[in-house]
Structure 1
Amino acid sequence: MGRRSRVLKAAGLTLAGALVLAVAAAGWAYWHLDNNIKSVDIDNALGDDRPAKAVATPSASASVSASASPLPTEALNILVLGSDSRSGKANKQLGGGNSSGARSDTAMVVHIDAGRTKATVVSIPRDTLVTRPSCPLSSGGSTAVAYGAMFNSAYSVGGPVCAVKTVESITNVRMDHYIEIDFAGFAKLVNALGGVTVTTEQDIDDDKSHLHLKAGTHHLDGKQALALARTRHGIGDGSDLGRIGLQQKLVKALLEQMASTDLLTDPTRLYSVADAVTGSLTTDTGLDSLTGLMRLGQSLKSLSSDHVKTVMMPVVTAPSDPNRVVAKEPAASRLWESLR
């Protein structure tokens, strides 16, 4: 065999080896990301005792052949919870404390209009007093109905299933999906995106969340962004209502950061972001795969932060406790009706 043939054979073997390694790496990455996602079978747990599903609106692509797999365009309601986990080394380093439980300190109902080009994000204050319904427990049995319970107690006593059932009971809106992101995972996501830029309208001086910012525009890393999402003692009257305003700013800022980051041209960062997202998520079984999440993401490609409206469920001070709130009627009912 001549020298040229030996060189070509060696080059071919090297290329073939590189392709095999690339395919193996891609396969492992997909498996890893897919297995990152934790899930809860909420539909099976709650059965048929739920608000009716919204009637799907036929899309212009409905006549496209099934093989084309058109992206879904019907309206969606997604319950998004921020789980303030208190366990694990990473969470403790971020201020999680020493206890082993978790709290749903952030709750948002995300309504995506039919067509997937507009969205409304409704925050539910954690200090809202509600009637918490009886919820099934994974260990068997069920919780008791609780009157005048704090909204975020639903997650504490019955996990995601009870959180969804409680939201559906107070809104009469069917939650099509459930997404929970944990304490440390949120910070990791922000870091993977290269930080997030937020403008605050007042000084923030909160020793409990370890956040100290002057009014103005700031580029925050993951730890700072998490502190911003958690802070409430250094703004306004120190209630949860002031924190909700900051969380809504942060949501829109994150959407803008993701839109401005060309992840497709940076595979390393794309993997880092995907790993951060999937590794921190708990979803319902309808979204518990990389394919399901990607399909949801692709269906939202025309949704920009400019078309995301953030509001808070209308509330008033609870007659029984000046440190708690209750839904303000009929404004709250009108808001939920608009999302059905």
Structure 2
Amino acid sequence: MGRGRDERDNEADLSAGPGPVSRHADGGAAGAARHLGPLRTMPLWLKILTGVVAAVLVGGIAFAGFWFFRLQGNISKAPLNAGGGSTESPANDATGRMQILILGSDTRDGKNSQYGSADDSTGYGKSDVMMLMDISEDNKRVNVISFPRDLLVDIPQCTDQKTKKVYPARSGVMINEAMGEAGIGCAVDTVNKLTGMQVDHFMMADFNAVKELSNAVGGVEVCISDAVFDPDSGLRLPAGTSSVQGEMALSYLRTRHAFADGGDLGRIKAQQGFLSSLTRKIKDEGTLSDPARMLKIADVVTQNLTVDDGLASVPALLTIGNRLKNIDIGKVAFVAVPTTPAPTDPNRLVIAEPAGAQLFSALRKNVDLTDPTAPTTTAPAPGESATPTPSPTETAAPVPPYNKAIQPVTVANGSGVPGRAQELVQALVSGGFAATSQFQAQPVAKTAVYYGPNFADVATDVAALLGIPAEQVIPLPAIQGVQVYVGSDFTTGTAFGSGAPALPSDIVNQTAGDKVCQQANPALIVRQ
């Protein structure tokens, strides 16, 4: 029985060929031959190439992912405003005109603890450096406007976005204190109020950022007229050109006494010279087109950078960098806000007028500060007199039947632009109307010249001086004298409708293309 079972099993094995098992085996063999055939016939070089490409793709994706998450993780962020809000729609970071407030924090916490005491590391700190970077819509121009830390300004009401504590508005306060209580957003709101512009983003770096960035680019060239040593900052430089990095680069930017007369304005010019040199080096050495160097710099910068929510991503920062990489360095203008010693304290500064109002007016109108709009009047042809000689039949212009210097003329600023009235007051004074005053008024859309009884002739001359049309000269019995009520249709310039603002000839300190040697403070010059 057992043998019979064995024989049946053997017979089943022997007869399995034509059955289903045999057909399955045959199909499997045929399938293997069909699928493995091409691999068996693929050349060795093609197999190697395929493996290399796959490895590169996988490695590239992993590398890109590593750097993306590393850089993204480096970024710190804070709110853009402190209650001031935005009066404009958000700018298109890729294509729109853009203002970025650049701040250098003097906080001494973390890696910066060696530069101060524990008391210095509390709160938000003060802005050791404050610059407004203005990028034109066509990416052809950049204005960098520096605000002295000793500048007295009005700080608006600000709310700390973390604690929701409200800090009241203050007047006559140093601008570097704006962010000390309510954070960076309060500094942004202060600059908005001061300039009449709208800051789109901010970037704040600390002391360590300067050291690390200067090391990453291999040093930055600076120039000074004489050998100098500042014991307060530790800056020691020989006369002429030197390359500074690390601690020495930080000392160069921090020193408050080494340049010019030892004041804040000399410090600003030195900082602008440093940034000009840094810009030239990055452009000349092709850093922006070198991925390895760019990653190194990006890593350094993002580790020491705080930005607003709108910039708190790697793509957003890359967008800004991409806009800047092709700008002509001769069109990167460095400007300091015009200032004069404060009447209440000669060690502090206030905005000098009308130059300050003229600068802010030009910025709002997007004027090229390196080549401001030319006057609308054409120059006389060669050989032609600039002042036509009247013919014998022509009569001279009639002399006004009044004394311009004593006529009461006021300028009511309803334009919504801070400082606008001062600019027009200066134009009127220059035109002979010495008794001109100003005040802030309710916003209006249309400019008008109002006049009281017996002042029609004065009003006509005032309107002509400012280019205001005759149909906008209006009698108003309640007015004493003449009042120029400035509306939102007259926000720039001193000639209505021309839009060509006057600017001081020396408003630009330098461009990024200029190599400037800083003047050393005579009190700190040392013998080499």
TM range (shorter): 0.7 to 0.9
User: 2:165 matched to 1:127?
Assistant: no
Counterparts of 1:196 and 1:308 in 2: how far apart (Å)?
Answer: 18
1:72 aligns with 2:94: yes
Verify the 8 A CA contact 1:196 1:219 in the aligned structure 2. Answer: yes
Q: Is the 8 Å Cα contact of residues 204 and 306 (structure 2) preserved in structure 1?
A: yes
SS at match of 1:152: helix
Tell me the secondary structure at the aligned position of residue 250 of structure 1.
helix
Candidates 94, 104, 113, aligned match of 2:136: 113
Matched, 1:196 2:217: no
Shift of 1:31: 0.9
- 1:17 is displaced (CA, Å) by 4.8
Separation in 1, partners of 2:248, 2:166: 39
User: Which of the numbers 82, 85, 98 marks the counterpart of 2:104?
Assistant: 82
How far apart, in 2, do the equivalents of 1:44 and 1:91 lie? 26
1:136 is aligned to: 159
- 1:264 offset after TM fit, Å? 6.4
Measured in 2, the distance between the counterparts of 1:266 and 1:299 equals 16
Alignment of 1:112-191 (within 5 A): 112-138=135-161, 139-191=163-215
3-state SS of 2:101 partner:
strand
Structure 1 letter corresponding to 2:102: V
Aligned to 1:293: 317
Q: Given residue 24 of structure 1, which amino acid in structure 2 is its aligned partner?
A: A
SS in 1 for 2:341: strand
Partner of 1:62: none
Matched, 1:225 2:249: yes
Q: Distance in 1 between matches of 2:153 and 2:288?
A: 44
Q: Which moved more, 1:261-270 or 1:318-327?
A: 261-270
Q: By how many angstroms is 1:96 displaced? A: 4.7
Conservation of the 8 A alpha-carbon contact between 2:82 and 2:159: no
Q: Which one-letter code corresponds to 1:78 in the other structure?
A: I
Q: 2:221 aligns to what SS in structure 1? A: strand
Equivalent position to 2:113, from 87, 92, 114: 92
Segments of structure 2 that go 5 or more residues without pairing to the other structure are 1-38, 365-528
Q: For residue 31 of structure 1, what is the aligned residue in structure 2?
A: 69
Q: Which moved further from structure 2: 202-211 or 314-323?
A: 202-211
Amino acid aligned to 1:27: G
- In the alignment, is the contact (CA less than 8 A) between 2:178 and 2:186 conserved in 1? yes
Aligned pair partner of 1:41 in 79, 85, 88: 79
Q: Distance in 1 between the 2:151 and 2:62 partners?
A: 50
Summarize the alignment of residues 230-249 of structure 1 with structure 2, pairs less than 5 Å apart: 230-249=254-273
SS at match of 2:71: helix
Deviation of 1:114 after TM superposition, in Å, equals 2.7
| Residue pair 2:81, 2:186 contacting (<8 A) in 1 also | no
State the number of aligned residues. 321
CA contact 1:84–1:96 (8 Å) conserved in 2: no
Distance in 1 separating the partners of 2:288 and 2:131: 29
**Given the superposition, is the C-alpha separation of residues 257 and 140 from structure 1 closer, same or farther in structure 2, using an over 3 Å criterion?**
same
Closer, same or farther: CA 287–23 of 1 in aligned 2, 3 Å:
same
Q: Which of 299, 309, 312 does residue 275 from structure 1 map onto?
A: 299
Q: 2-side partners of 1:269 and 1:28: how far apart?
A: 16
Per the alignment, in what secondary structure is the counterpart of residue 338 of structure 1? helix
Distance, in Å, in 2 between the alignment partners of 1:97 and 1:271 is: 34
Match of 1:210 among 234, 237, 240: 234
Distance 2:357 2:90 in 1: 17
Structure 1 residue 43: Cα displacement: 5.3
Read off the aligned partner of 2:268 and give its amino acid letter.
Answer: I
CA contact (8 A) 2:82 2:182 kept: no
Partners of 1:158 and 1:270 lie apart in 2 by 34
TM score, norm. by length of structure 1? 0.85
Which residue pairs with 1:103 in the alignment? 126
Q: 1:64 corresponds to which residue?
A: none
Mapping for residues 50-69 of structure 1, pairs under 5 Å: 50=87, 52=88
Shift of residue 41, structure 1, vs aligned partner: 2.8
SS of residue paired to 1:42: coil
Shift of 1:36: 1.3
1:255-270 correspondence to structure 2 within 5 Å: 255-263=279-287, 267-270=291-294
Partner deviation per Cα, 1:206-249 (whole Å, 9 max, x = no partner): 11111111221111113222111111222333221111010000
Tell me, yes or no, if the aligned pair for 2:259 and 2:270 is still in contact at 8 Å: no
Distance 1:291 1:232, change over 3 A: same
Q: Describe the superposition over 1:304-324 as per-residue Cα deviations: whole angstroms up to 9, x where unpaired.
A: 322111111111111111110
1:122-158 C-alpha deviation (Å, 9 max, x unpaired): 1100011111111011211311111211111111112
Change beyond 3 A, Cα 1:206–1:158: same
Q: Which amino acid aligns with 1:174?
A: Q
Q: Determine helix, strand or coil for the equivalent of 2:182.
A: helix
Normalising by structure 2, report the TM-score. 0.56
Contact residue 255 and residue 304 of structure 1 kept, 8 A: no
Q: Identify unmatched segments of 5+ residues in structure 1.
A: 57-70
Compare relative contact order (CA 8 Å, sep 6+) and give the higher one, 1 or 2: 1
Aligned AA (1:25): F
Structure 1 position 318 matched with structure 2 position 342: yes
In structure 2, relative to structure 1, the CA distance for the partners of 1:148 and 1:339 (3 Å cut) is same
SS of the residue corresponding to residue 80 of structure 1 reads strand
Distance in structure 1 (CA, Å) of the matches to 2:82 and 2:154? 23
| Residues in 2 aligned to 1:6 and 1:75: alpha-carbon distance in whole angstroms | 56
